[in-house]
Amino acid sequence: MTYIYKAGVVGAGQMGAGIAQVIVHSGLPVVLKDVNEDAVQRGLRTIREIYEGRVKKGKMSPEAVEQKMALVQGTTSYDDFADVDLVIEAVFEDLELKKRVFGEVGRVCPLSTILTSNTSALSIAAMGEAGGRPDRTAGLHFFYPAPVMKLVEVVPTAKTSQETLDTCISFIESIRKIPVRVKECAGFLVNRLLMPYVGEAAYALQEGAASAQEIDEAMTSFGMPMGPFLLADSLGIDVCWKVALVLHEAYGDRAKPPAVLKRLYEMKRMGVKSGAGFYSYSDQPDILSELVLEKKPTHFSVERVIYPMINEAIVCLDEQIASPSDIELSMIAGTGFPQDKGGLLHYADTLGLDVVLEGLRRLEADLGPRFHPSPLLERKVKAGELGVKAKRGFFEYT
Pair 328, 351 in one domain: yes
* CATH code, 355: 1.10.1040.10
- Asked if residue 194 and residue 176 are part of one domain, the reply reads no
Q: Residue 1 falls within a domain, yes or no?
A: no
Query: Which secondary structure element, helix H or strand E, spans residue 246, and what is its range?
Result: helix 237-251
Per-residue confidence at 370, pLDDT binned at 50, 70, 90? very high
- Side-chain half-sphere exposure of 360, counting CA atoms within 13 A: 27
- Contact call for residues 228 and 237 (beta carbons, < 8 A): no
Per-residue burial over 263-276, b if 16 or more Cβ lie within 10 Å, else e, is bbbeeebbbbbbeb
CA distance 324 to 394: 7
So which residues are the catalytic ones? 141
Within-domain flag for 396: no
- From 181, 208, 227, give the residue that closes a domain: 181
Position 2 in a domain:
no
**Boundary of a domain, candidates 266, 291, 316:** 291
Q: 148 and 200, same structural domain?
A: no
Read off the DSSP letter of residue 84: -
pLDDT level of residue 175 (50, 70, 90 thresholds): very high
Q: Which domain holds residue 219?
A: 190-291
Report the domain count for the chain: 3
Rounded mean pLDDT of 255-277? 97
Does 395 fall in a domain? no
Bigger pLDDT: 99 vs 145: 99
The span from the CA of 167 to the CA of 111, in Å, is 15
Mark whether 92 and 119 lie in a shared domain. yes
Q: What is the pLDDT of residues 201-239, one digit of tens each?
A: 999 999 999 999 999 999 999 999 999 999 999 999 999
pLDDT at 1: 82
Q: How confident is the model at residue 121 (pLDDT cuts 50, 70, 90)?
A: confident
Query: Are 241 and 373 within one domain?
Result: no
Together in a domain, 174 and 79? yes
Average pLDDT over the chain reads: 96
Instruction: Read off the pLDDT band of 95 (50, 70, 90).
Output: very high
- Average pLDDT, integer, range 46-53: 97
Residue 56: pLDDT band with limits 50, 70, 90: very high
Amino acid at the residue 317: L
Same domain as 365, residue 333: yes
Do 169 and 261 fall into the same domain?
no
Cα 342–333–181 angle (5° rounding)? Answer: 100
Q: Are residues 28 and 138 in the same domain?
A: yes
* Residues above pLDDT 70, as percent of the chain: 100
Confidence grade of residue 7 (pLDDT, cut at 50, 70, 90): very high
Per-residue model confidence (pLDDT) at position 144: 86
Rounded (5°) CA angle 67-141-319: 155
Does the pLDDT of residue 2 top 90, yes or no? no
Q: Is 293 left (phi over 0), alpha (psi -120 to 50) or beta?
A: alpha
Cα Rg of the chain (Å, integer): 22
CA distance 87 to 115: 5
CATH number, domain at 35? Answer: 3.40.50.720
Q: What residues contact residue 391 under an 8 Å CB cut-off, 6+ apart?
A: 397, 398
Q: What is the mean pLDDT of residues 305-309?
A: 98
Plot region of 116 (φ>0 → left; ψ -120 to 50 → alpha; else → beta): beta
Is 349 domain-assigned?
Answer: yes
Based on the fold, state whether residues 177 and 55 are members of the same structural domain.
yes
One domain, residues 330 and 255: no
